[in-house]
Structure 1
């Protein structure tokens, strides 16, 4: 029995050493770190300079996906306030019917959040850079970050995806954000 345990430990340690050594062999050389440039006092946002012929075009580095993160944070804050209200309502009530209604509202809120997240992941899997899905009642608003432009075919594909995966969606609006 002890021999068997020793063998398992030996094989475990051997595989761990093999994985770590392969990782370090395949690891690219690290980028140099200069803390002064990161924490420097700069008032200008970083820009990318792209040279195309005669004119130089400068673009800010800030991507529109930060807009999506801002929208997600606003929705998350709004829903956390609703969750807190429902929790305080649940603590205040003693009637079982009201408690069941509050639990149903909480479950509906969680179901809506997970359905929106799932749709966002599915839309990103279609090849878009980022997506934001917001449902209010029976209408669903989808905002998509697309660097390649947009077309009616892409909008109808997203609409079809939302309508087939979300049974409560009766009206779907698709907005495209990006370069084109």
Structure 2
């Protein structure tokens, strides 16, 4: 028995709609940013969860956006550098040694990117909500958003000590707090 093409397409579409409908019906938790005031003064912007009886309000930090901008700048910088290194590696004008040096530099850049991302995750695990890590020539700069509004030398020492013990080639560490 041969099925009509329209019938097959209709049944496929119907089953897809059924699966998607069940997924959204079974979804229990609403998104965290439901009910967020989009328009308003930036310093008074808050996030509330719909359906909460407590109506707990948490401030939205513009500082995390600054950290994202810093990440994007570094990513663009390194992307341009990677493009230049790729061009060198694929160029027939370069010697084998120069191409090998470009390859090694690219590998080091990728290694540094992943090490910085890992360090950011580890700093978040220490209890800081948002962190940005950048390493240049042995100097590590860490920008941390402080959620409680206050920061102390103890916190800076804790982060510095953690970075110095985790990264063997970190010669100096600078911790900057954003409130």
TM-score, shorter chain, exceeding 0.5 = yes
Consecutive unaligned residues in structure 2, runs of 5 or more: 1-18, 47-58
Cα distance in 1 for partners of 2:155, 2:90 equals 47
Specify the alignment match of 1:105 in structure 2: 105
Q: Which residue of 2 aligns with 1:75?
A: 74
Work out the CA distance in 2 between the residues paired with 1:78 and 1:69. Answer: 14
SS at the partner of 2:175?
Answer: strand
Confirm or deny: 8 A CA contact 1:45 1:61 kept in the other structure.
Answer: no
* Structure with a larger share of its residues in strand: 1
- What is the TM-score with the length of structure 2 in the denominator? 0.68
Residues 17-71 of structure 1 deviation map (CA, whole Å, 9 limit, x = unaligned):
9xx79x82x725799x99xx97xxx6x546448xxxxxxxxxx855210000000
CA distance, structure 2, for counterparts of residue 30 and residue 106 of structure 1:
39
Secondary structure of the corresponding residue to residue 143 of structure 2 = strand
Match of 2:129 in 1: 129
Secondary structure of 2:104 counterpart: helix
**CA RMSD in angstroms, aligned pairs only:** 3.1
Q: 1:168 aligns to what?
A: 169
SS at match of 1:123: helix
1:82 shift after superposition: 0.4
For 1:128 and 1:160, locate their aligned partners in 2 and report how far apart those are by CA, in whole Å. Answer: 15
Change in 2 beyond 3 A, CA 1:147/1:99: same
| TM-score (norm. length: structure 1) | 0.68
Write the deviation string for residues 87-134 of structure 1: whole angstroms up to 9, x where unpaired.
Answer: 111111452222211111001000110111011000011111100001
SS class of match (1:27): coil
Q: Whole-Å Cα distance in 2 between the matches of residues 28 and 176 of structure 1? A: 33
**Count of matched residue pairs:** 142
3-state SS of 2:131 partner: strand
Cα distance in structure 1, aligned partners of 2:146 and 2:173 = 18
Q: Is the 8 A contact 2:116 2:134 kept in 1?
A: yes
- CA distance, structure 2, for counterparts of residue 150 and residue 138 of structure 1: 25
Matches of 2:144 and 2:158 in 1, distance apart? 12
Gaps spanning 5+ residues in structure 1: where? 1-16, 50-59
Contact 1:150 1:176 in 2 (8 A): yes
